[in-house]
Amino acid sequence: MRNLDFSSWQTVLSTLVGLAVITLIGVGIRLLVMQVVQQRRERENRQINERLRTLIAAYKTLGGSFTGDLAVDPTHLRELRLREARRAEQGEAAGETVLATGSDRSRRVRDAVEAALSDIILLGTEEQVRLAARAAGELVAGRPIHTGELVVSLRDFIRGVLDLEPVPRGLEIPRQGPARPSSSAAKGKADAGGKEDGRGGNKGMGGGAGMGAGMGMGVGLGGTLVAEDDADTHR
H, E, C per residue of 112-148: HHHHHHHHHHHHCCHHHHHHHHHHHHHHHCCCCECCH
pLDDT score of 70: 86
pLDDT score of 85: 67
Is the alpha carbon torsion for 49, 51, 54, 60 positive or negative? negative
**The model's pTM:** 0.60
Amino acid making up residue 161: V
Rounded to whole angstroms, the Cα distance separating 42 from 224 reads 84
pLDDT score of 17: 85
- Please list the rounded mean pLDDT of every run of 10 residues in the chain (235 residues): 62 82 92 93 91 94 88 72 66 50 75 93 95 92 90 94 88 89 55 51 46 44 43 42
**Do residues 157 and 56 lie in contact, with contact meaning Cβ atoms separated by under 8 Å?**
no
Output the CA–CA distances (angstroms, integers) from residue 132 to 21, 52, 60, 230, 234, in the order listed.
58, 16, 15, 97, 103
Buried b (16+ CB within 10 A) or exposed e, 70-80: bebbbeeeeeb
Dihedral pair phi/psi, residue 176, rounded to 5° = -105, 150
